[in-house]
Amino acid sequence: MEITLGFSPCPNDTFIFDALVHHKIDTKGLTFNVEYHDVETLNEKAFNNKLDITKLSYHAFAYAVQKYELLDAGSALGFGVGPLLITKNEELAAELKEYAGDHLPVALQDLRVGIPGKYTTANFLLGLAFPALQNKQELVFSDIEQALLDNNIDLGLIIHENRFTYQDKGLFKVVDLGDFWERTTNNPIPLGGIVVKRELPVEVKLLVNQLIKESVEYAFANPKSGIEYIRSHAQEMEDSVMYKHIDLYVNQYSIHLGADGRSAVETMFKKALSAGLIPQFHTNIFLT
């Protein structure tokens, strides 16, 4: 049986899926046709029901939950893994730090913010910490640092490997939005998950979940096995940054969400609903 599978070319995703897509584990007769896209493109494909299985932002999942269920394996959750709000202006960074979670003065509300996509979890967290920042420009996540350097935006919302490179470019952190989430909820931050079409047979969905779990376990047991595959999709990323990326985003929650992971996801949706950041829905979230 052939199944379409979408995930990003980022090291955490290629690390997770290497054993699966290269048949280093027994896929039990399933063949995966892989598409590589940035997270916001994957979000859009999920909205349009284009892929059988896909990585997406947890924020975006609220808009695709009628068509997809969340797998227990493959997620990116954790502590200290959240997106960062940064700026080129050190004085502005110091000033804005004082207002995270509080009312933002009118004089600061029209700052131009580069975001990696409307439906990213990063943008959801920005909405919780600074709801008054509405002058947003959607950019490919890898272009945000340069947009700051070119003075095209005042603030940048960065994810992925940019967490490790912004300081080298003379940019300054305003707030770690993952830390903001952790302090206010005591939960790990749910960034991205793997979802499967509800219409697929139950036995196929359960098998896919098991195979992704086995793929992650294989990667942990053989961390160098997929290095060329990971490197080939990491563009010009240095190996040290690539490994930091994997270490940051792949952990026990990637093997299985567990009770803590599920609680964090449910907390996110409850907060998002109460803040008016996602539509109301009544569908069960998790694959059962």
**Residue 172's CATH number:** 3.40.190.10
Say what the pTM is. Answer: 0.86
132 occurs within a structural domain: yes
Percent of the chain residues past pLDDT 90, beyond the cut = 75
74 occurs within a structural domain: yes
Give pLDDT, residue 6.
Answer: 98
202 occurs within a structural domain: yes
Let me know whether 144 and 266 are in one domain. Answer: no
106 occurs within a structural domain: yes
Give pLDDT, residue 272.
Answer: 87
- Asked about 22 being catalytic, the answer comes back as no
Let me know whether 71 and 89 are in one domain. Answer: no
Let me know whether 91 and 33 are in one domain. Answer: no
264 occurs within a structural domain: yes
Let me know whether 179 and 194 are in one domain. Answer: no
Q: Which DSSP string corresponds to 113-141?
A: EEES-TTSHHHHHHHHH-TT---EEE--G
Give pLDDT, residue 210.
Answer: 98
Domain boundary among 185, 212, 229: 185
Give pLDDT, residue 235.
Answer: 74
Residue 129 marked in a binding site: no
| Number of domains the chain is built from | 2
Residue 57's domain comprises: 2-78+190-274
Give pLDDT, residue 165.
Answer: 83
Name the amino acid, one letter, at 263.
Answer: S
Helix (H, G, I), strand (E, B) or coil at 150: coil
Give pLDDT, residue 237.
Answer: 76
Let me know whether 181 and 196 are in one domain. Answer: no
Residue 121 marked in a binding site: yes
Domain boundary among 154, 185, 216: 185
282 occurs within a structural domain: no
Let me know whether 168 and 208 are in one domain. Answer: no
Q: Alpha-carbon distance 43 to 126, whole Å?
A: 18
Give pLDDT, residue 232.
Answer: 94
Residue 94 marked in a binding site: no
15 occurs within a structural domain: yes
Q: Alpha-carbon distance 84 to 118, whole Å?
A: 16
Let me know whether 132 and 194 are in one domain. Answer: no
199 exposure class (CB count in 10 Å sphere: 0-12, 13-18, 19+): exposed
Domain boundary among 168, 185, 202: 185
Let me know whether 230 and 256 are in one domain. Answer: yes
Let me know whether 100 and 73 are in one domain. Answer: no
Which parts of 120-256 are beta strand (E)? 136-138, 155-158, 172-176, 189-197
Let me know whether 74 and 198 are in one domain. Answer: yes
Pairing of strands 189-197, 68-70: antiparallel
Let me know whether 174 and 92 are in one domain. Answer: yes
Pairing of strands 113-115, 136-138: parallel
Give pLDDT, residue 281.
Answer: 77
Which of the residues 23, 103, 160, 245 is marked catalytic?
160
Contact call for residues 33 and 52 (beta carbons, < 8 A): no
Let me know whether 269 and 133 are in one domain. Answer: no
Give pLDDT, residue 266.
Answer: 94
The residue ranges of the chain whose pLDDT is under 50 are none
Q: Give residue-wise pLDDT tens across range 46-55.
A: 999 999 999 9
Pairing of strands 31-36, 2-7: parallel
283 occurs within a structural domain: no
